[in-house]
Structure 1
Amino acid sequence: MNVIATVFAVLMILFLWLRIDYKLGRKKHLSIVNKREFPERKSNLKLFTEGNSLFTDLFNEIENAKEHIHILFYIVKDDKISREFLTRLKKKAQEGVEVRLLVDWVGNKISKEMKVDLKKSGVQLFECHIPRFPYLFYSLNARNHRKVTVIDGKIGYLGGYNVGKEYLGNDSKFGFWRDYHLKIEGKGVQDLQMQFLYDWKDRTTIDLTQNPNYFPPLIEGQSYMKLVPTDGAYLQSHFLELLNTAKKEVKIGSPYFIPGSKLSNAILYALKRGVKVTILLPRKADHLFVKEAAVPYFQPLLKAGAKIYFYEKGFYHAKVFIIDDVICDIGTANFDKRSLYLNHEINCYIYDKTVIQEVKAQFSEDLAFSTEITLESLQNRSIFQKWKESFSTLISAFL
């Protein structure tokens, strides 16, 4: 009996510590974070939706780099495609190109041997968002989820892809991998560069944001766009603003759908106004409980007229948010609590109708490989499934 009491006491102390750590860490974070967004720019945009074509293009631009390569990924694995990526960075550093690489502490799977080789070659490699006291639990969960590449200050990339075999569709567990990633050329690249240098300063304390070498003159492109970074705050307000402007239709694609009450109510209000809402999610899950945490939101949305689909062709990892034919948002943020309240993200608002139509066409193509979720199908869930959903709701902020 004493053993049981001791274990219970230890668990209660641990629970209280985690709760206090998170609350105080969150309070501290909100006291220093600022709402930021860059101005509208004119850039040329290219959409990639398959990993092989993206990495072929990215590797070609890395090969052609002359002065500096700045890259931030949430995840870099230790596999064939990752080693090829890192080997190319080593080669460019040996040629005299400045190479800076940031990888999130949680997502960094680069081997110790490769880290040594990278640094010997001149690659400046740092892990960002390393957990630290006094708010260890909060800092462990507040990750840098951005995926940013800037080459010579003239070419940029951002979107959903990380570096690993699954992103090429080479993992048997997930099969085909659908994601959305943008290549940017033109005025908007200067803002992507600035965001990388902000993250670089945050990790290294080295401020390069005023160095003109990293901001060459850029031409105007064809499409109006705007970069919107969020640092574990303000993403919800951005999404609410977008939802509240919708007049005809809203399309949401995300690997995780845990919107919380405010965004869920905003979607319900849009449906009440007569807005057509379509939500596309993966049938497969790549993390425990994320699918179960989404299900409680389905029933009220379906009853209100929303259309919700499960992608069946493989794994759906795209992050896309389309409002009418007016705004298309593609970036790194998922439609979930982790992106809303914890992760550091960056999204790109696109205002060009031609590009928006291209994205909508891709979204429609993905819907063709999807199955619609019905209220009837939700009624057949087992008791065990419902228990998993209840448990998932309790921990949904950390999924």
Structure 2
Amino acid sequence: MGFVLALILAIIIWITIDLIQGSKIRHHSPPSAQLTLNGNIEFIADGEDFFKILLEDVDKAVQHIHMMFYIFRDDETGMKFIEELCRKASEGVSVYLLADYVGSHGLKKTTIEQLTSCGVHFSFSRKIYLPFLFSSLNKRNHRKITIIDGKIGYVGGFNVGDEYAGKKPKFGYWRDYHLRVTGEAVMGLQKQFLFDWKADNAPLQVDDSFYPPLPKGETEIKYHITNGFGVKESFAEYINKATASIIIGSPYFIPGEMVQKSLVDAIQRGVSVKLILPMRADHPLVKEASYRYLVELIEEGGEVYQYMNGFYHAKVMVVDNQICDIGTANFDQRSFHINGEINCIFQSKEVLDQIMEVINRDFIQSERLDLARLKKRTISNRLISPFARLLSHFL
């Protein structure tokens, strides 16, 4: 018995030291960076549309394809991409595919062998390493970016898998937001892909084709690139500037004290605050971790809506119907303190009109959460709640 207790204590001490010391290492990445460039934006909010447009652009590639996803599956949807990437590699196109080690752990060894044997350069991002086993397991590259011939870029919430195409009955229709970028702003995505690739591999030999001359573009785009620091500060900054309205969409809502205070202060100064969240959580502790934040917001006068038409995975914030933030970061502690993320902040009436049309449709397909229903909790919810709060930093 004494040996077992000593072993448990040793493991706890090991994990604690691992997480504390490992948290000081940002995987060779700066904690936060901002890059402002001009470009043109196409907004995509449907999985089938996203995969169709992306595959069409991949098919037209003549020089190189650089692709990074948090989740890349070898299911029906994933195999379409694998076959297309292999075909392009066989034509002489330089193809690099980067997938997060934990997010894409389901990729079979035979699939990876298929990719590499056909000429695709494949690598996992943020591999697990010793002595910081637990901290490296915890630090994920949550970015989803694609660059084709240095001329077309993609960034947003969609990963590659059947569920994102709405083909998984468990989730049903999948709502997400993604951006197709052209113009000079593609350079920012290219730089980030090359940086992420270099973090786990030998750096690519960069030539002029990676950064071809591009038209400036009509919209100023600010890329906010983060690695465990800077997301909550950015969100709070824009929330604090709001004078009329704030709309937030996220699959998870665990804002922490700083962002929560900014939202409550906004409501108290007369700003309309509306949230869209999924009705069904894809994690057993998320709803309980969100509970106290949602109760406070509703009590202060905020409005919370739960998306009913499938699973809501979009990451968006619109301030005063003028400033829009779309990217990979969720409104949760993992995105705020741990993950590698990239968000795009821009002002474009034309694009915002398209985004607001979809957001308004999402509100219609949602049910407003009232305080009485929110507070109606089962015994199991109450028992889970302390654990959810304890683990909220990792959710």
How many angstroms apart in 2 are the aligned matches of 1:291 and 1:90? 41
Whether 1:275 and 2:271 are equivalent positions in the alignment is: yes
Q: Is the 8 A contact 2:27 2:199 kept in 1?
A: no
How many angstroms apart in 1 are the aligned matches of 2:163 and 2:288? 22
| Higher mean C-alpha deviation, range 336-345 or range 220-229 | 220-229
Whether 1:120 and 2:124 are equivalent positions in the alignment is: no
How many angstroms apart in 2 are the aligned matches of 1:181 and 1:158? 6
1:297 to 1:12, Cα distance in 2 relative to 1, 3 A: farther
Task: State the match for 1:166 in structure 2.
Answer: 163
TM-score, normalized by length of structure 2? 0.96
Q: What is the CA deviation profile of residues 266-305 of structure 1, one whole-angstrom value per residue up to 9, with x for unaligned ones?
A: 1111111111100110011112211221112111111111
Structure 1 portions without partners, runs of 5+ = none
Q: Secondary structure at the match of 1:395?
A: helix
1:345 to 1:52, Cα distance in 2 relative to 1, 3 A: same
How many angstroms apart in 1 are the aligned matches of 2:352 and 2:173? 24
Task: State the match for 2:145 in structure 1.
Answer: 148
Task: State the match for 1:110 in structure 2.
Answer: 107
Q: Is the 8 A contact 2:306 2:368 kept in 1?
A: yes
Whether 1:58 and 2:54 are equivalent positions in the alignment is: yes
Q: Secondary structure at the match of 2:167?
A: coil
Task: State the match for 1:222 in structure 2.
Answer: 218
Task: State the match for 2:232 in structure 1.
Answer: 236
Q: Secondary structure at the match of 1:36?
A: strand
Question: Which of 301, 304, 308 is equivalent to 2:304?
Answer: 308
Identity of aligned residues (%): 41
Amino acid at match of 1:234: G
Aligned length: 394
Task: State the match for 1:18 in structure 2.
Answer: 15
Amino acid at match of 1:18: I
How many angstroms apart in 2 are the aligned matches of 1:272 and 1:174? 36
1:9 to 1:379, Cα distance in 2 relative to 1, 3 A: same
Amino acid at match of 2:372: E
Task: State the match for 1:33 in structure 2.
Answer: 30
Q: Is the 8 A contact 1:281 1:310 kept in 2?
A: yes
How many angstroms apart in 2 are the aligned matches of 1:397 and 1:99? 36
Residue 61 of structure 1 deviates from its aligned partner by 0.5
How many angstroms apart in 2 are the aligned matches of 1:61 and 1:54? 11
Q: Secondary structure at the match of 2:25?
A: helix
Q: How does 1:1-399 map to 2 (within 5 A)?
A: 3=1, 5-29=2-26, 33-39=30-36, 41-108=37-104, 109-208=106-205, 211-399=207-395
Q: What is the CA deviation profile of residues 332-369 of structure 1, one whole-angstrom value per residue up to 9, with x for unaligned ones?
A: 11000000111101111121122122212211110111
Q: Is the 8 A contact 1:350 1:356 kept in 2?
A: no
Residue 31 of structure 1 deviates from its aligned partner by 9.9
Q: What is the CA deviation profile of residues 173-219 of structure 1, one whole-angstrom value per residue up to 9, with x for unaligned ones?
A: 010100001100111101111111111111113154x5322000001
Amino acid at match of 1:230: T
Residue 26 of structure 1 deviates from its aligned partner by 1.2
Q: What is the CA deviation profile of residues 357-395 of structure 1, one whole-angstrom value per residue up to 9, with x for unaligned ones?
A: 221221111011111111111232122212212211111
Q: Is the 8 A contact 1:30 1:233 kept in 2?
A: no
Amino acid at match of 1:168: A
Amino acid at match of 1:188: A
How many angstroms apart in 2 are the aligned matches of 1:378 and 1:55? 36
TM-score, normalized by length of structure 1? 0.95
Q: Is the 8 A contact 1:146 1:332 kept in 2?
A: yes
| Higher mean C-alpha deviation, range 380-389 or range 135-144 | 380-389
Q: Is the 8 A contact 1:43 1:223 kept in 2?
A: yes
Residue 158 of structure 1 deviates from its aligned partner by 0.7
Residue 27 of structure 1 deviates from its aligned partner by 2.4
How many angstroms apart in 2 are the aligned matches of 1:106 and 1:30? 15
Q: Secondary structure at the match of 2:362?
A: helix
How many angstroms apart in 1 are the aligned matches of 2:159 and 2:109? 20
Amino acid at match of 1:183: R
